[in-house]
Structure 1
Amino acid sequence: MLLDTPNALPELPPRGSRVVVAMSGGVDSSVVAALCAEAGCETIGVTLQLYDHGAALARKGACCAGSDIHDARRVADRLGIAHYVLDYESAFADSVIEDFADSYLSGRTPVPCVRCNQTVKFRDLLGVARDLGADCLATGHYVRRAMGHVGAELHRGIDPGKDQSYFLYATTQTQLDYLRFPLGGIDKRAVREHATRLGLGVAAKPDSQDICFVPNGDYAAVVRKLRPEADAPGDIVDLSGNVLGRHAGLINFTVGQRRGLELGGLASPVYVVRIEPETRRVVVGPRAALAVAALTLDEPNWIGPDLGAGRDVMVKVRSMAAAALARVTRDVAGTFRIDFATPEFGVAPGQAAVVYDGSRVLGGGWIATTVAAATAP
């Protein structure tokens, strides 16, 4: 049974278990390692080097940076546990960074943290944990795992300001059976208190803010370096196709954006309604044009019941968005569709739509297409 009281006791593996902890060098994963060791588990820390180690040393405020690797090692030394650093630079580049660049080039807005969890962190790191003979893989994510009638379930973290369930919807049932999330039932304040009590040098370390491979939040510079053609100019047009201005590359825009259009002389504000990579056009319109009645999913993943027959659920279309009432159905071709009870705004292809039943994550998928509220059947 899940407790909805903040700062319930962390879910820890049994004493004597062999546990691999994914250690990023931040306070969250460091506390997980310390709590597992304190509970009498045979604890092994594993840190992934995800991009060039030399360049990473200069990075501040992003997870998996070079200084973070040193922090993870210092924590492991403090705890007296084994610690391994694994070079996953090539796998990360292929699975996450290249996909990130290609998504922007195709006019989509990617969520690289979902792709990273889906591939390198859970698929690959989980394999490493099994190779080490571990009973489970523990991480510092703020989500909860509970045993249901038919297996493990994934639930929102108790701290609404730190909940990371949106980014873990692609977790498979097999992975969830093996994973543990000790911090899901406590809040950030309690985590830092544990870090101080356990004498960890990272107790006051700031949370990472940036996408780890995007210096200073300038994602366009990353895409431009990998895909120089992303800077190709094009037209900014209204909903009728009338040219309103020019842009300096599709990578500078995402659906729902208002700033940066640099269109003077318009009677009312306009927003990016859609991006057309084939014609390199950015289509703009009034806020009402952003209203979406439905969407379809690509690469759906479900953790739990089959939703194809139709079911009322709550759906988040952005990590910071409130969940909205919707219905999930599947057509004869196998495509999942989500119809919203009331129109949603700023729904961008390439983002994730994550499906909830109360606090439980049922799964989700990448937003493939959207249906404008004005044209919905």
Structure 2
Amino acid sequence: MRVLAALSGGVDSAVAAARAVDAGHDVVGVHMALSRTRDQFRTGSRGCCSIEDAGDARRAADVLGIPYYVWDLSERFEETVVADFLAEYEAGRTPNPCVRCNEHIKFAALLDKAVALGFDAVCTGHYARIERAADGTPELHRARDAAKDQSYVLAVMGPQRLARSLFPLGDVASKDETRAEAAARGLSVSAKPDSYDICFVADGDTQGFLRARLGSREGEVVDTTGAVVGTHDGAYAYTVGQRKGLALGRPAPDGRPRYVLAVEPVRNRVVVGPVEELAVGSVEADRAVWFGAAPSTPTACTVQVRAHGAPVDGTAVAGPGGTLHVDLGADAGLRGVAPGQSLVLYDGTRVLGQATVTGTRKATTPSPERAGTAAGTPAGAGAGGRA
């Protein structure tokens, strides 16, 4: 096959391309330039769009002996991923930019261009597996290494794009194995640190990025009774479940921590309250993407709402117009689910589908001892990292 290997400049994509070469494919490497204002060097940069990354990708292609190109997708990236990120926060929702990048850039703009140029598939360094059903239909599955699994951020791609994708690292036992293979192949990126956080927020200051783009908008922070307990510079900088960085003027009457319960963009108001108010019993979502038939009747599955969150038991049923309703198990312990988050359904390791959260209903019998760590998630968390 003619394969276009997306080379981010990291170790994962380099080893994935190498494996595609070993498999006998005709491989061409391409680096996607996603920002025209990216940092020149990685010092102080936590993302994956630096000029240094483009140079690392070129050196990897040289070692592998494959052609190498740089494609400028910065305008498409700004118009889709960055614009969506800003619009979602401004509307009081919590987006995952890695999901949108996979949807609009890696498996839309990149794949569409690759197909137009005569390539059969796109190869990336994502940690996920593609298996075949009995009828030959491709299925998206979790990676062998659960700690690196990226099926959550890939679920938005859908079955047609999955059919033209290769994920050579899906069966790797650990990231250490990937690094060892890169070193054995003479790839200089073998010890390169992983990227994390949001690639277009180079310093990791998501609130600062939002404030610079959306401006300062002072408003009130209120409790569940409507009493003002603090102020903020922009409701868009907060997300449901957030605990840190609230800077409230007075403690709760009982002295317990407060969490963000709701973001009200029209009133520019943030509502805070006790952690028990974050317990989720059911979730509504829309823009569903299915790998196979949508569940027309309540179907048991596991549900994941964060890139590295633990899956919980649930029952899902598809509604009209791409909507989805999910009831969670009585002891699911899921908290702080925000509108805008990606919700992915699994049957074992197999991805059933994906949708975007529009709202939640409170659990009737919350389980405090199973709060997990999600309630402390700060604004901007949930990026999926380099592939």
The whole-number CA distance in structure 1 between the counterparts of 2:251 and 2:102 is 45
The 8 Å contact of residues 236 and 265 in structure 2, kept in 1 or not, is answered as no
1:177-236 deviation digits (Å, cap 9, x = unpaired) = 1101000000212111211111111111111113110022111222223222xx211111
The 8 Å contact of residues 314 and 326 in structure 2, kept in 1 or not, is answered as yes
Which of 270, 273, 295 aligns to 2:261? It is 273
Determine whether 1:345 maps to 2:335: yes
Q: Secondary structure at the match of 2:106?
A: helix
The 8 Å contact of residues 312 and 326 in structure 1, kept in 2 or not, is answered as yes
Identity of aligned residues (%): 43
The 8 Å contact of residues 61 and 206 in structure 1, kept in 2 or not, is answered as no
The 8 Å contact of residues 65 and 212 in structure 1, kept in 2 or not, is answered as no
| Structure 2 match to 1:7 | none
| Structure 2 match to 1:304 | 292
| Structure 2 match to 1:354 | 344
| Structure 2 match to 1:180 | 166
The whole-number CA distance in structure 2 between the counterparts of 1:224 and 1:232 is 9
Which of 22, 27, 41 aligns to 1:38? It is 22
The whole-number CA distance in structure 1 between the counterparts of 2:322 and 2:15 is 43
| Structure 1 match to 2:380 | none
The 8 Å contact of residues 34 and 72 in structure 2, kept in 1 or not, is answered as yes
The whole-number CA distance in structure 1 between the counterparts of 2:203 and 2:158 is 32
| Structure 1 match to 2:373 | none
Determine whether 1:328 maps to 2:313: no
Which stretch has the larger CA shift, 351-360 or 337-346? 337-346
User: Which fold has the larger relative contact order, with Cα–Cα distance below 8 Å and residues 6 or more apart in sequence?
Assistant: 2
| Structure 2 match to 1:83 | 68
Q: Secondary structure at the match of 1:103?
A: helix
Which of 117, 135, 140 aligns to 2:102? It is 117
| Structure 2 match to 1:370 | 360
1:239-275 deviation digits (Å, cap 9, x = unpaired) = 1222222222113321111122222232222111111
Tell me: CA distance 1:177–1:168, structure 2 relative to 1, closer, same or farther (3 Å). Answer: same
Unaligned residue ranges in structure 1 (runs of 5+): 1-16
The whole-number CA distance in structure 2 between the counterparts of 1:265 and 1:227 is 29
The whole-number CA distance in structure 1 between the counterparts of 2:322 and 2:355 is 13
Which of 192, 216, 222 aligns to 2:209? It is 222
Structure 1 counterpart of 2:200, which letter?
Answer: F
The normalised TM-score by structure 1 is 0.91
RMSD: 1.7
The 8 Å contact of residues 308 and 336 in structure 1, kept in 2 or not, is answered as no
Unaligned residue ranges in structure 2 (runs of 5+): 367-387
The whole-number CA distance in structure 2 between the counterparts of 1:45 and 1:345 is 42
The whole-number CA distance in structure 2 between the counterparts of 1:319 and 1:140 is 16
1:102-123 deviation digits (Å, cap 9, x = unpaired) = 1111111110000000011111
| Structure 1 match to 2:304 | 316
The 8 Å contact of residues 210 and 216 in structure 1, kept in 2 or not, is answered as no
The whole-number CA distance in structure 2 between the counterparts of 1:253 and 1:26 is 31
C-alpha deviation, 1:330, in angstroms:
3.1
User: How is 1:71-220 mapped onto 2 (pairs within 5 angstroms)?
Assistant: 71-150=56-135, 151-186=137-172, 187-220=174-207
The whole-number CA distance in structure 2 between the counterparts of 1:80 and 1:140 is 18
The whole-number CA distance in structure 2 between the counterparts of 1:301 and 1:38 is 33
The whole-number CA distance in structure 1 between the counterparts of 2:63 and 2:319 is 55
The whole-number CA distance in structure 1 between the counterparts of 2:83 and 2:151 is 24
| Structure 2 match to 1:248 | 233
The whole-number CA distance in structure 2 between the counterparts of 1:163 and 1:208 is 15
| Structure 2 match to 1:27 | 11
1:123-181 deviation digits (Å, cap 9, x = unpaired) = 11111221232222111000000011240000001111110011011011110111010
Determine whether 1:288 maps to 2:276: yes
Tell me: CA distance 1:334–1:181, structure 2 relative to 1, closer, same or farther (3 Å). Answer: closer
Structure 2 counterpart of 1:45, which letter?
Answer: G
| Structure 1 match to 2:372 | none
The 8 Å contact of residues 270 and 285 in structure 1, kept in 2 or not, is answered as yes
The 8 Å contact of residues 324 and 355 in structure 2, kept in 1 or not, is answered as no
Structure 1 counterpart of 2:356, which letter?
Answer: W
The whole-number CA distance in structure 2 between the counterparts of 1:245 and 1:374 is 29
Q: Secondary structure at the match of 1:327?
A: strand
The whole-number CA distance in structure 1 between the counterparts of 2:175 and 2:251 is 47
Determine whether 1:18 maps to 2:2: yes
The whole-number CA distance in structure 1 between the counterparts of 2:251 and 2:146 is 42
C-alpha deviation, 1:333, in angstroms:
6.4
